[in-house]
Each structure stands twice: as structure tokens, then as C-alpha cells.
Amino acid sequence: MRSTIAQPSHPHTYKQRISIQPSRWRGLGASFAKPAYGVAGLAVLVLLWSIGTHVLESNLPLAASLAPDATFQSLYELVSTGQLNSHTLMSLQRVLVGLGLALLIGVPVGLAVGSSKALENASGTAFQFLRMISPLSWMPIAVMVFGIGDAPIYFLLTFAAVWPIILNTAAGVRQLDPKWLMLARSLSATRSEVLLRIIMPGILGNILTGARLAIGVIWIVLVPCEMLGVSSGLGYYILDTRDRLAYSELMAVIVLIGALGFLLDGLAQKAYRYWSRTPAR
């Protein structure tokens, strides 16, 4: 009697099981590879930082205060004792207010520019000219007009952030499928319905892209803006550490600024991916 080997009910099942397992392992490997590369890159950066401060110690004794070990020790003490809480919250508040004002101005202007070819041609040169002016060059005028306090900071942050929002919003309007608008007109949709149900959902990805770019610009401009006579914020704390010669704390605040900026950019990127359903690379 010949022995028989039981065959699967579906002939391709066994092959599928074999092919699925490697793909799962590849997916897991890819999910762990990106964080691993990121950690390795940060480790190399810290190593170069340590080497640089060690080289400078021969000519600059204060360089030891800028080394990674002293910096991270100061950062831990500042965070654990809560000394940076109020300054961090104030800086984040200014970022959100500046971004909100830039959205309130930039989105309507971008809608108008993207909807009208004549307005685009008329405003394009002026917008590009203003966009190329450094926001920090407006500091003396902002202080002269708005005085000392948060008002000039909000003006400078809004001026810095409004341009990527305008440009990306206008580009989104120009990329809309004309068939959508023709369909809305054929159904006798009102202007508000066209705006809220067709245009805004169609350009939201562009608006989020502009907001992400605006956050990066705001975060860079924020620190020098907070040196305009205010008594709170991370930029103010940098000046305070400089005056106290607390260089390890100064470097700790710089590291915190980089970490917070990285976190804000990551949140903006996740919001864009959530809306566009774009998988992470």
C-alpha cells in the first residue's frame, strides 16, 4: 500500500504561508530600522559635539561647560525642578498665537489669490518681495509701533509664518479638479457650500503643508524675538543664562529648543498624514 501525503484543500495556501512570513519580517525590520537609524545619527551628533568641546578646552576652559555631560545634567535639573515650565509654556503659547494669526490671514488671502489669475499676477511680485525680507529686520519698527511686550513678537511671528500658508493655499486652489466646481454649479450649490464642501476639503492637505512649514519658520524666529525686552520664554532664558555665565544651562536650553521644535514638526507631519492617509516612509 502506498502512503499518501495529505494535500491542502487550496493548493496555493502553503505557498502563501511561506511568502507571507518573509514579508512580515521585512515589515517589522523596516519599522525598527528608521528609529534605529535616527538614534544612530543622534549618537554620532553627540559624539562630534563631545569631540568638539574637548578640542576647544585647550584654548577655552569654559568649553567644558558646553560638553554633553554637563549639558544633559543641567537639562535634567532644570526640567526636574520645573524652572523651565513657565518659559516653555509661554514660548509654545506664542507659537500657537502666531500660527493662528498666520492661518487667519494666510488662508483667505491664498483662496483669493488662487481663485483669480489677475489677482495672482498683481500680487505675485509684491508677495515674493515681502517674503524675502527677514522678519528680524522688522524688529526696531515692531517695537516702535507696538511697544515692549508680546505684541511685537506676535507681529514678527505672523509676518514670518504667513507666506508659506498663502503660497501653499493658493497652489492648492489652482490644483483643484475643475470638474468638481462644474458639478457644484450644475447642482446649484451656493458659494458657502462650494467653499466648505469642495474647496476647503480639497486644499486642506496644502494648508497643513503650509502650516508645517510655518511652524518651522516660527520656531526659528521665536528665540531672537523673545529677546525684545520680555521677561519670559526660552529666548529670554538664553539671555539670562548668558548674563549669569551659566553656559551648561544655556546649552541645555538650546537642546530643549531643538527637541520641542522636532516634536512640533512631528505633530504637524502626523496631522498631514492623517488627513492625506499617507503611510509613513
Question: DSSP string covering 79-117, please?
Answer: HHHTTTHHHHHHHHHHHHHHHHHHHHHHHHHHHHHHH-H
Over residues 112-137, the mean pLDDT reads 87
26 confidence band (pLDDT: 50, 70, 90): low
- Per residue in 151-173, pLDDT (tens digit) is 999 999 999 999 999 999 998 88
Q: Express each pLDDT in 266-277 by its tens digit.
A: 888 888 787 766
Residue-range domain boundaries for the chain: 85-276
Q: Which residue has the cell 446649484?
A: 188
Between 182 and 216, the higher pLDDT residue: 216
Contact 166, 106 (CB under 8 A): yes
Tell me the whole-structure pTM to 2 decimals: 0.78
Q: Break the chain down into helix, strand, coil percent, rounded to 5.
A: 80, 0, 20
CB 110 within 8 A of CB 167: yes
Of the candidates 73, 61, 54, the one whose C-alpha atom is nearest the C-alpha of residue 249 is 73
Q: Say yes or no to pLDDT of 15 above 50.
A: no
2.60.120.10, 3.40.718.10, 1.10.3720.10, 1.20.140.150: which CATH number matches 85-276? 1.10.3720.10
- CB distance 153 to 92 below 8 Å: no
Residue spans of beta strands (DSSP E) within 140-243: none
Cα 103 to Cα 134: distance, rounded to the nearest angstrom? 19
Confidence tier at 117 by pLDDT (50, 70, 90): confident
Residue with cell 577655552: 60
The chain-wide mean pLDDT, for the chain, equals 81
The pLDDT of residue 22 is 54
Query: What distance in Å separates the CA atoms of residue 190 and residue 169, rounded to the nearest whole number?
Result: 21
Answer positive or negative: Cα dihedral of 54, 55, 61, 65: negative
